[in-house]
Structure 1
């Protein structure tokens, strides 16, 4: 997702549809970039403050991370999560700052061999 100040959430259900073995864990890798703003003289971008949240279907925040990304920088949240039951949603909340961001993220559901 590029040039957004309202990133889309990623809903996912780790429970297998085939009634098979439950996953071992969930790996989340999320990169948020605050691209350098190059404009007229004296115009510069600003830092953005954000919160990542992993929320279950009951609305409980299971994991979260806060961060501040300066103009031109990127921040990553990489986490493992071991509750592989219930639907979940990965959210990025823009807490402060007006700059648009670029988001690249993945949710991997991992199984034992």
Structure 2
């Protein structure tokens, strides 16, 4: 089973809507209950190309490095929970279960 971690700038409310920027680089966790997590990067070539321009700031690059370390550590802590939830979801996806989680922003939880 795979889990996908997308790196983007934090959402920022503007007068015209919500602003963010996808930082192109993504982290994929290939995992099962029986084995260690196999981590792989997605879109590395595009990320490196953009890092060699002024498209991303140094702060963006540092934040992606920090976030990848934190994401891996946090994923390891909730790994079995996610796998159990994924198994249940595959059988019958009930979005109301998500409304009680702290992972979703409040405004999204209210919609469920």
TM-score by length of 2: 0.26
Q: Which has the higher strand share?
A: 1
TM-score normalised by length of structure 1: 0.26
Which protein has greater RCO, CA pairs closer than 8 Å, 6+ apart? 1
Greater helix share, 1 or 2?
2
